[in-house]
Structure 1
Amino acid sequence: MLIEKVIRKLKNNPDYKWESPYTTRDLIAISWVRLWQAIRGLCLKPFMKRSSGLVFLGRQVKVRHAYQIEAGKNLILEDNVFVNALSFNGVKFGDHVSIGRNSTLLGTGIVSHKGIGITIGSRTGINAGAYLGGQGGITIGDDVIMGPNVQIFSENHNFSDPDIIIKEQGLTRSGVIIGSNCWIGGGATILDGVTVGNGCVIAAGSVVNKSVPDNSIVAGVPARIIKSRI
């Protein structure tokens, strides 16, 4: 199949294959969408800090401070993705990263508190409706998959003094680190200061407020370790 061969070339993976059959009409529709995404991407590439390959932009994608975005090969930003890369480290994408529709990636929230930024490793796929707040820094490893509506927060508001308005008590920022080869289920929330080890599985809907070691399976609100994959 021609399209399959093209994808193998783009991914530099001779073993890549489609598991399901498609009609000619399916293939034409898929190719047409990707073609227009690539054309839109050509308009963005000159403004990016670095881009090593094609950039595929869906409809209504909004990118601010593109001069702070670095991308490897074949970045995909689906429809209605919003990226604000303003931050100390910018937003960095590895090779073959895809960001699902209606997702938001923020390097900075409040302008008066410039953020750290976001780094996403190669072959990582983030599903629709994700929110990545990189104010305190978010680092995501390689080969991570995320279900829809995952939220990651990398800063907290201080609130210990009841006599002072919460928004005037300042912020704490520890950052979030997610290792490689992780599966984050749909609707999961990961809070500031958490490190998720390599090979972890986070159940859908979990709220992770403590770090978890490699190859852990966690679930619940707040999340706890159910068992190890080893």
Structure 2
Amino acid sequence: MRKETFCSYLWRKVYKEAPPYYCYYSLWVIMLKPIRKWFSAVLIPTIPFSNLRVQCYRWCGYKIGKNTFIGMRCYLDDMCYDLIEIGNDVIISYGVFFACHGRKQGHNKLVIRDGAYIGMNSSIIARSDDGIVIGKNAVVGACSLVNKSVADNSVVVGVPAKEISKVQ
């Protein structure tokens, strides 16, 4: 059980039901959340230096491994920064979109294993309850829509992404 807050107490008295998750946020979280969202969705994607861009994502709470490249204009889901894990030696090209949630769906985990490559303007959408795993050394082609897990050493392309071969 979460610690009761003024907001959750008020919700219980007025609506006579269990309060939603956001009623348990502290005042500090309520004040910092919009700042972190703006920083990760507006400012960081425009930073021209890759190492600084990756470090800023780490400061926002994303789990990003060593020697990882994240291109400009990428959108990492700012509501689920704690559900995105990016491994070591991963290359994420320009304009890739990551989503861990959607309308009438829960917040799901998104994992990118070591050595994966994600092509330009791809979309990675974690729509299943198990989340999405992009396997070790997997390649996602440009402009692909990945909505289910990708096996290790696979090459996937298309909308939705389908496996076309294995990486040697």
Give TM-score scaled by structure 1 length. 0.46
Q: Which protein shows a greater Rg?
A: 1
Q: Relative to 1, partners in 2 of residues 1:211 and 1:219: Cα closer, same or farther, differing over 3 Å?
A: same
Corresponding residue for residue 23 of structure 1: none
Q: For residue 138 of structure 1, what is the amino acid of its counterpart?
A: I
Cα distance in 2 for partners of 1:178, 1:134 equals 17
Q: Which of 73, 76, 81 does residue 44 from structure 2 map onto? A: 81
- Shift in Å at residue 175 of structure 1? 1.3
- Shift in Å at residue 81 of structure 1? 1.6
**Structure ranking higher in strand proportion:** 1
- Shift in Å at residue 130 of structure 1? 0.4
- Shift in Å at residue 199 of structure 1? 0.1
Corresponding residue for residue 131 of structure 1: 75
Cα distance in 2 for partners of 1:98, 1:227 equals 34
- Shift in Å at residue 104 of structure 1? 8.0
2:53 aligned with 1:99, yes or no? yes
Q: Relative to 1, partners in 2 of residues 1:174 and 1:191: Cα closer, same or farther, differing over 3 Å?
A: same
Cα distance in 1 for partners of 2:140, 2:125 equals 13
Unmatched tracts of structure 2, length 5 or more = 1-33, 37-41
Q: How does 1:170-181 map to 2 (within 5 A)?
A: 171-181=105-115
SS at match of 2:63: strand
Q: Which of 119, 126, 133 does residue 63 from structure 2 map onto? A: 119
Q: For residue 222 of structure 1, what is the amino acid of its counterpart?
A: P
Runs of 4+ in 1 over 2 A off after TM superposition: 96-100
Q: Relative to 1, partners in 2 of residues 1:197 and 1:98: Cα closer, same or farther, differing over 3 Å?
A: farther
Cα distance in 1 for partners of 2:139, 2:149 equals 13
Cα distance in 2 for partners of 1:134, 1:179 equals 20
Tell me how many residue pairs correspond in the alignment: 120
Cα distance in 2 for partners of 1:97, 1:156 equals 30
Cα distance in 2 for partners of 1:216, 1:128 equals 25
Identity of aligned residues (%): 31
SS at match of 1:226: strand
Higher relative contact order (CA 8 A, sep 6+): 2
Q: Which of 75, 79, 88 does residue 142 from structure 1 map onto? A: 88
- Shift in Å at residue 127 of structure 1? 0.6
